[in-house]
Amino acid sequence: MAKVKTISINNFTTDSGAFYDKIDLHYQHFGQSYDHAPVVLINHSLTGDANVAGSQGWWSEVVGPNLTIDTRHFSVLAFNIPGNGVNDYTLENYNDFHTGDIAEIFYQGLQILGIAKLFALIGGSIGGGIAWEMAALYPTLTENLIPVAADWKASDWIIANTFLQKRILENSSRPLRDARIHAMLTYRTPASFTERFGRTVNKDKKLFNVESWLVHHGDKLENRFLLQAYKAMNHLLASIDITRKGHSLEKIIETISSNIHLIAIDSDLFFTAEEDQKTLQRVKKIKKNIFYHEIKSIHGHDAFLIENETVSQILSSIFKPNSNYPKPCES
């Protein structure tokens, strides 16, 4: 596991006008040095973190030596969303922030590290929303923009679910566990549950196995995550919107020089594939280098964490090393 490092963003003012003399930005780095290899920034999902590679990495089958995002060729960086609880760091007034502020913090982090240009900017779920926000703020930052199971906005459906999550977090006697149980229903699908559980029963616990599984995930999050961090991440998820300044999606995308690779999941009940398809239809006439890819899976939103072979196949053409990359060396 790569060491968690910390840099400080000083004298930061949020879009809402709140001033912070210092914000801690925790991150992990995998693979090659920033100044000798193409840099890939990967943004994590709601309750994830910056640990994307290695034995405990959440994308360990996609990122690493000899894998699709090959750390023998690439420099891979991942920031923790400020307030997500890593190193017990939370944001007391998380309502001061939206995902555009997080995008600006990430950008300033890149500047501090001396990274002026990215080869790829990837994000899953809320991480993809932050990737969109970074590209909208800094249209020439990355060569490839790759939002995965994500969108440039929080849809009404996302807003509705985060509203319910907020009520659970504020009113439940075991808020983290119960919020997670609800969230898992949006991350998977009825077909996924049927295939896995088939109405089977855990006789010892006197529960259906699907109930036991949901309780397990609720307890697991309760044991590893901070309530304040979950509240902050839920708030940020509802705030995604690159058009909040009044510019149209089309005008914003016109400015983005990057190749845009939309990666959707056909069964996603959370960030639905339909929304990415609408985005494609809206902007493909004004931007030729925008592409749509689809993961076919019964597992819903979480498929980008499950269907690693398909994810790798989609990414392989983007991350194919060329002769300009440094000679491979082990991470």
Instruction: DSSP for 17-56, please give it.
Output: S-EEEEEEEEEEEEES-TTTS-EEEEE--TT--S--SSTT
CB atoms within 10 A of CB 227: 14
What is the percentage of the chain residues whose pLDDT exceeds 90? Answer: 95
* Same domain assignment for residues 249 and 312: yes
pLDDT of residue 51: 98
Q: Is 318 helix (H, G, I), strand (E, B) or coil?
A: coil
CATH number at residue 41: 3.40.50.1820
* Same domain assignment for residues 9 and 80: yes
Point out the domain boundary residue: 204, 235, 266. Answer: 235
Mean pLDDT of 196-211: 97
* Same domain assignment for residues 22 and 113: yes
pLDDT of residue 20: 98
Judge contact between 305 and 63, C-beta under 8 A.
Answer: no
Judge contact between 181 and 218, C-beta under 8 A.
Answer: yes
Confidence of residue 178 (pLDDT cuts 50, 70, 90): very high
Confidence of residue 192 (pLDDT cuts 50, 70, 90): very high
Confidence of residue 281 (pLDDT cuts 50, 70, 90): very high
Residue 303 pLDDT greater than 90, yes or no: yes
Residue 165 is part of which domain span?
157-235
Judge contact between 122 and 76, C-beta under 8 A.
Answer: no
pLDDT digits (tens, 9 = 90+) for 240-273: 999 999 999 999 999 999 999 999 999 999 999 9
Note whether residue 41 is domain-resident: yes
Q: Is 327 helix (H, G, I), strand (E, B) or coil?
A: coil
Q: How far is CA 204 from CA 83, 212, 250, in A?
A: 39, 10, 56
pLDDT digits (tens, 9 = 90+) for 4-62: 999 999 999 999 999 999 999 999 999 999 999 999 999 999 999 999 999 999 999 99
Residue 327 pLDDT greater than 90, yes or no: no
* Same domain assignment for residues 297 and 180: no
Point out the domain boundary residue: 235, 257, 272. Answer: 235
* Same domain assignment for residues 40 and 132: yes
**What's the rounded Cα separation, in Å, for the pair 321 and 323?**
7
Q: Is 197 helix (H, G, I), strand (E, B) or coil?
A: helix
Note whether residue 322 is domain-resident: no
Q: How far is CA 322 from CA 31, 76, 277, in A?
A: 17, 17, 31
Note whether residue 331 is domain-resident: no
* Same domain assignment for residues 74 and 169: no
pLDDT of residue 163: 98
pLDDT of residue 324: 52
* Same domain assignment for residues 173 and 27: no
Point out the domain boundary residue: 182, 214, 235. Answer: 235
Q: What average pLDDT is seen over the chain?
A: 96
112: its two tokens: 């501090």
pLDDT of residue 331: 39
**What's the rounded Cα separation, in Å, for the pair 205 and 214?**
13
* Same domain assignment for residues 193 and 56: no
pLDDT of residue 330: 46
* Same domain assignment for residues 220 and 254: no
Find the length of the chain: 331
Mean pLDDT of 100-125: 98
Mean pLDDT of 106-114: 98
Judge contact between 107 and 130, C-beta under 8 A.
Answer: no
Judge contact between 91 and 39, C-beta under 8 A.
Answer: no
* Same domain assignment for residues 186 and 119: no
Can you give the pTM of this predicted structure?
A: 0.96
* Same domain assignment for residues 10 and 141: yes
CATH number at residue 195: 1.10.1740.110
pLDDT of residue 325: 52
Residue 208 pLDDT greater than 60, yes or no: yes
Confidence of residue 320 (pLDDT cuts 50, 70, 90): confident
pLDDT of residue 323: 41
Count how many domains the chain has: 2
Note whether residue 164 is domain-resident: yes
237: its two tokens: 């998820």
Q: How far is CA 29 from CA 26, 43, 50, 212, 326, in A?
A: 10, 12, 9, 36, 17
Ranges assigned E (strand) in 240-304? 259-265, 290-295
**What's the rounded Cα separation, in Å, for the pair 11 and 19?**
7
DSSP lists the bridge partners of residue 76 as 30, 40
* Same domain assignment for residues 10 and 114: yes
- Please name the residue that has the structure tokens 């590893």: 224
Q: Is the dihedral of CA 246, 250, 253, 254 positive or negative?
A: negative
**What's the rounded Cα separation, in Å, for the pair 74 and 67?**
11
Residue 173 pLDDT greater than 60, yes or no: yes
Note whether residue 324 is domain-resident: no
Residue 3 pLDDT greater than 60, yes or no: yes
Judge contact between 140 and 60, C-beta under 8 A.
Answer: no
Note whether residue 309 is domain-resident: yes
Residue 152 pLDDT greater than 70, yes or no: yes
